[in-house]
Amino acid sequence: MKHVLVAAASSELASEVIPKLLDGEYRIGLHYSSNKKAVEPYEEYEQVKLIQCTIAGESDCARIVDEYVEWAGSIDSIVIFLGNISCTCHWEEIEKEHLVDEYLFNAVYPFMLAKYAQRYMKEKGAGRILFVSTASVRRGGGSTTIGYGMAKAALECAVKRMARDLAPNGILVNAVAPGFFDTQFNRKRKGLTEEDVAERVAMIPLKRGGKKEEIASTVLYMLSEGAGFITGQIITVDGGDFL
């Protein structure tokens, strides 16, 4: 039995990962903040534990990891979907408070979750840490989502450093970087219209947006034995968008 903690499991992209984990031999921790409806269907499974916590500081990150390990007895992997866009104004208008919020939820708190998870992984000499970044880091983010892009770029820096430092302990650290996926996250947080979506899709060489199950399959591969020699990498899933 493998032990995996999914942080921000109520996110849209995580919704496709959870059923695939249930098909395998996993004891699964599903962390969520306020959207219990997204994870409630899994509450009845014996191999699943729901962990409610609205992250407001480092101690919350520690509590989430500790609560999972106390229940599961161990942790092999952590998949961190945590992320947010708090401001969609043009970068010329963005204020310091917006940037601070973006860094906290897209870089600092994901890093802290990994920091506490790796301590348990070191004890057993193996583990997987998988962050979720964004392919738009490659082109400097978006004009109206620059804080999000800057924070994810910082997170990718952490991937490289942690991967190098934790390799001797058998811990692999990577990130999955989705390109354009037609999700409510994109539509609501970025304020995209149908026309915006159509224009964005037209820019992608494959002429379509990504499917959530494609991210889920990538995540499952990165947790599998087949990915045992991959670390410090940003796995981009973008249909050739930024070639």
pLDDT in tens, the chain (243 residues): 899 999 999 999 999 999 999 988 899 999 999 999 999 999 999 999 999 999 999 999 999 999 999 999 999 999 999 998 877 878 787 888 888 899 999 999 999 999 999 999 999 999 999 999 998 888 777 887 888 999 999 999 999 999 999 999 999 999 999 988 877 766 666 667 788 788 888 888 888 888 989 999 999 999 999 999 999 999 999 999 877
For residue 193, what pLDDT is reported? 79
pTM summary value: 0.93
For residue 188, what pLDDT is reported? 63
For residue 186, what pLDDT is reported? 64
Torsion angle defined by CA atoms of residues 6, 177, 145 and 88, in that order, rounded to the nearest 10 degrees:
-40
Q: How far apart are CA 171 and CA 178, in angstroms?
A: 23
Q: How far apart are CA 88 and CA 147, in angstroms?
A: 9
- Active-site annotation holder among 42, 68, 120, 148: 148
The Cα-based distances of 164 to 118, 124, 157 in angstroms read 13, 18, 11
Q: How far apart are CA 48 and CA 22, in angstroms?
A: 9
Structural contact between residues 178 and 239, judged by C-beta atoms closer than 8 angstroms: no
| Eight-class DSSP state of 206 | T
For residue 156, what pLDDT is reported? 98
CATH of domain 2-237: 3.40.50.720
For residue 201, what pLDDT is reported? 85
Crossing angle of helices 212-223 and 12-23, in 10° steps, is 50
Crossing angle of helices 58-72 and 109-124, in 10° steps, is 40
Domain boundaries, the chain: 2-237
Specify whether 26 is catalytic: no
For residue 189, what pLDDT is reported? 60
For residue 75, what pLDDT is reported? 98
The residues, ordered by sequence, that sit 6+ positions from 234 with a Cβ below 8 Å of its Cβ are 133, 156, 159, 174, 175, 176, 177
Amino acid at the residue 202 = A
If we measure between CA atoms, which residue out of 20, 10, 15 comes closest to residue 2?
20
